[in-house]
Structures are given as structure tokens and as C-alpha cells.
Amino acid sequence: MPFYYINKNWTLNPGFHHEVHTEEHAAELKIQDKIYLGWFANEIDAVQEGKKYYSNADGCAVCCPKAHKG
Ligand SMILES: [Zn+2]
């Protein structure tokens, strides 16, 4: 089960959402400004947690496809 982060910077994706990433993908994208969400069984649970911080939280299309809405 991966660790998940939410990006504080919403300007870096086409939908202008606060995107949730796995730890691995956040590191690959060199995202510095992020909030640690925790350890989840899947991205759907992680995005649910992310919504506590940002109501427009969305899963990254690459690392969280099951939670990606656009
Ligand atoms: Zn990602």
C-alpha cells in the first residue's frame, strides 16, 4: 500500500485541481509543496482524505487513475 500526498499547487494540471499523488510519483514530478495524507489501500480512499484539505481534490491521471475525475 502506498503513501499518498496532495499537491498544494493547483496550477500544475489541466483541470486546476489539487491533485493526489503516490509518494513515488510526487517524487518523480519533484513536487515540493505538498501535504502528507497517509497510507491508504487505494487512491479512492486517499482522495477522500484529500477532500478534507481541498474540496476539489482529484486523483492524478497517471498514478491514481481510479480516482481521476478530470
Ligand atoms: Zn501522480
Enclosing H/E stretch for 35: strand 34-39
Q: How far is the CA of 59 from the centre of ligand 1 (A)?
A: 7
**pTM greater than the 0.85 cutoff:** yes
Q: How far is the CA of 48 from the centre of ligand 1 (A)?
A: 16
From first CA to last CA, the distance across the chain in angstroms is 24
Q: How far is the CA of 13 from the centre of ligand 1 (A)?
A: 11
Q: What pLDDT is recorded for position 12?
A: 80
Q: How far is the CA of 68 from the centre of ligand 1 (A)?
A: 10
Cell of 24: 513515488
DSSP bridge partners of 6:
20, 35
Residues 59/37, Cβ–Cβ less than 8 Å: no
Distance of CA 8 to the CA centre of its chain: 9
Render pLDDT for 16-69 as a digit per residue (tens, 0 to 9).
999 999 999 999 999 999 999 999 999 999 999 999 999 999 999 999 999 998
